[in-house]
Amino acid sequence: MAVAIVMAQAAEPAVDLAVVSSRAKARVLALRGALVQTWLVPRELGGSADRVNELFVPPEAARRIAAVTARLMLLAVGGGRRRTLTVVPTYRGASIVPASITYVVHPDEERVTVPIW
């Protein structure tokens, strides 16, 4: 009698984002796929590609940020009015991974908060 053996890869342990207190730690986690490099102010909306704007977040949070960015792009080009964007990250402790990021479009004051952890 043959018995099928199913091998399952153990789930990666959850990353404690509270201890990601340096870019070096964030880069190591990015190499492992636990974090993704992205931008605080999206490049599509005028954000620079420098360290000040660099951001490391979990992959699912990066997908949420991309969805918000796409929505903000539509808002920015619609209606014929000039709009500006304010981006406010919220941090916990010494972590460089934000706990959340709030995007505010002016003058409409439309506010979107993306939870990170």
The Cα–Cα gap between 40 and 58 comes to 14
Report domain extents, the chain.
Answer: 18-115
State CA 113 to chain mean position distance: 11
Rounded mean pLDDT, 73-78: 73
For residue 89, pLDDT beyond 90: yes
Return the pLDDT at 5.
45
State pTM to two decimals.
Answer: 0.80
More confident: 3 or 102: 102
Mean pLDDT computed over 62-87: 83
Residues of the chain above pLDDT 90, percent: 58
